[in-house]
Amino acid sequence: MAMAVATAVTLSYRRSRTTSRDWSITNSAPVVVDKLAEPIIINIGGKKYATFEHTLNRFPRTLLGNPEKRKRYFNEKNNEYFFDRHRSSFTAILYYYQSGGLLDRPLHVPNDVFNEECNFFEIDPKENEDDQDGGDQDGEDDLPQNSTLRAIWMVFEYPSSSPQAKAVAIFSLVIIMLSIVIFCVETMPVLDDSVPEERDANGTVTRPAERGTNHEVFFVMNAICSSWFTFEYLIRFIASASKIRFLKGVLNILDLLSILPFYVSLIVPQESAGSIDILRVMRVIRVCRIFKLTRHSKGLYVLGKTLYASVNELIMLMLFLVIGVVLFASAAYYAEERTNPQFASIPHAFWWAVVTMTTVGYGDIAPQSTLGKCVGALCALSGVLAIALPVPVIVSNFEYYYKEELSKRQEAGERSLSYRNLDHLALKSPLLQHKVTMGSPSLSSKLDASPGQYSSPVLAHRITNGAMKFGHDTIIETEELSSGGSSKPSTPKLRRKQHPPHSETIL
C-alpha cells in the first residue's frame, strides 16, 4: 500500500514538472532577430570583407550606406555584394564607416587611385586626412600626365624602373663621389702647386700669385660635375608634376645649394678680401653635395625622414644633456676647484661634462680628487641613461619609414611597368583605343585620342594580380613585378575570359 502511494506521488510530481516546463516553453517571449546586426559580405575583386549593416547605414548618402544604391551589386547566388574595385583602397573605405567618418589613405596607395575609389563609393575625397595635411610632402605619388615627361621623371627619380634609369643613377652616383673626392683632395698641401704673391718691405707686390697646374685640373673637373648637377636639376624641374612642390622639397633645396657655389665663384672677383670670404663660404656650402647620396640610398633617405619625425625625442634628449652638463660641470668645478687647475670655471667644465655624458672620454680634462671622480662616474651613468631613453622611439620610426619607402618603391615599379605595357599594347591592338572598361565608366573618357598617350595615371594602377579587364570578354595578362623591382616585363597577351570576375575567391 505504501509503495503504491509513493509511486502515485512520484508520477504526479513528474507530470507536474513536465507540464510546467512545457508551459514555460510555449509561453516564453519570441526571439527577435535584428537584421541590422546581421553581418553582410562585401567582395572586392575576390577578397571578402564582413561588416554590419548598421555600420554602413551611418552614412546613407554614400553608395554602401544606401540600401537602394548598393542592392544593384548584390549577388544572390553567393549572398554577397560584389565590386570589381581596388582592394587596398577599400580597406580604408570600410574603416571610414567603422570609425564614423575617419578617411585615411593607405601609404602605398597613390592619391589619384584613392580619389577615384572614393568617388565611386560616393565618399568625398576631401575628407582624406593626407590631403588636409598637405599630402605627401615628397611628391613621389604625383606623376606627370604627359607620357614623355613621365618617362623622363621615372628615369631620374626611380632607378629600379628601367635599365636606362639604373644607368643614369649609376652615372650620377659616380659624379657625386668624384665631386666629393675633389672637394677633399684639393685642400691637401701636397697637391697645391700654386705660387703665392710676394711683397717687399713697403708692401709692394713684386710677384703676383700664380695658379698651378693642379688647380686648373681641379677647376675643370669641378666644372664637369657642376654641369651634370645643373642638367639633372633642370631636367627634373621641367619633368616634375608640381613645380612649386619640387622647389619646396628639402632634397631639391640641397641640390640647388650644391650647385650655386660654382657659379658664384665664376662671378665674384677674387682680388678683394671680402670676395675671398664669400668664396670660402661658398666652398663650405659645396659639402651639401654629399646629401645628394640620399637620393640614391634608401637607408640615408629613410634616416633623414626618421630624424625629422623624431624631432621631439631629439629635443628631449638635448634637454636632458643640457641639464646634466650644467649640473655635473658645476659639481666637478667645486670638487676640483682647489686641486685641479683644468677646471678653471664652470664654463670650462662644460666640455668635460659633454665628453663624459656622451661616453667619449677624451682624457684631456680629468678629475683628480676622490669626490671629483665620483661626480665623473655619476655623470657617465646619467649620460648613458639619457641617451638610451629615446633610442627605441627613433628605431621604431626608422622601421616605419623603411617599410613605407619599400612600399612606395614597389608601387612606383609597378606603375612604370604598367605604363610601358599599356603604351606598347596600344600601338598594336585597336581594342585599347575603342573599348576600355575597368569598373568605372568614366575612365573611358580619360584616354587621349592618340595611341599610347594616357591622361590618367589611374589606368595603370588597375593592373592588380597580373591581370586587367578590358570590355566584357577580354583580359590582358602581364607578368607581376617582383619585390625587388628587377623582373623583366613580358609582352602582354590577349585571351578570352573563361570565368566571371567573382568566380575567384580569396578569403
SS (HEC) of 330-395:
HHHHHHHCCCCCCCCCHHHHHHHHHHHHCCCCCCCCCCCCHHHHHHHHHHHHHHHHHHHCCHHHHH
Amino acid in the structure at residue 174: V
Using CA atoms, how far residue 292 sits from 165, 213, 262, in Å, is 16, 29, 16
For residues 107-128, average pLDDT: 81
pLDDT digits (tens, 9 = 90+) for 443-500: 333 333 333 333 334 334 333 333 333 333 333 333 333 333 444 444 333 333 333 3
Residue 213 has a pLDDT of 65
Q: Which three cell numbers stand for residue 145?
A: 600626365
Strand partners, 464: 467
Q: Do residues 251 and 156 touch, judged by C-beta distance below 8 A?
A: no
Strand bridging mode 47-52 / 39-44: antiparallel
Residue 202 has a pLDDT of 64
For residues 58-81, average pLDDT: 89
Residue 273 has a pLDDT of 54
pLDDT digits (tens, 9 = 90+) for 260-298: 888 888 887 665 556 666 767 777 777 777 877 777 777
Q: Do residues 403 and 298 touch, judged by C-beta distance below 8 A?
A: no
Kindly indicate the confidence band of residue 103, based on its pLDDT and cuts at 50, 70 and 90. confident
Strand partners, 51: 40
**Secondary structure element (H or E) that encloses residue 39, with its range:** strand 39-44
pLDDT over 70, % of the chain: 63
> Which one is predicted more confidently, 278 or 101?
101
Q: Which three cell numbers stand for residue 400?
A: 616605419
Work out the mean pLDDT of the chain and round it to a whole number.
Answer: 72
Residue 403 has a pLDDT of 82
Residue 329 has a pLDDT of 92
pLDDT digits (tens, 9 = 90+) for 139-152: 444 678 788 888 89
**Secondary structure element (H or E) that encloses residue 43, with its range:** strand 39-44
pLDDT digits (tens, 9 = 90+) for 76-91: 888 999 999 988 889 8
> Which one is predicted more confidently, 288 or 333?
333
**Secondary structure element (H or E) that encloses residue 470, with its range:** strand 467-470
Edge-to-edge strand list for the sheet holding 39-44: 47-52, 39-44, 80-83, 74-75
The answer to whether residue 358 scores a pLDDT higher than 50 is yes
Buried b (16+ CB within 10 A) or exposed e, 238-259: ebbbeeebbeebeebebbebbb
- Residue 89: closest CA among 57, 119, 56: 119
Residue 111 has a pLDDT of 80
pLDDT digits (tens, 9 = 90+) for 32-48: 445 556 788 999 988 89
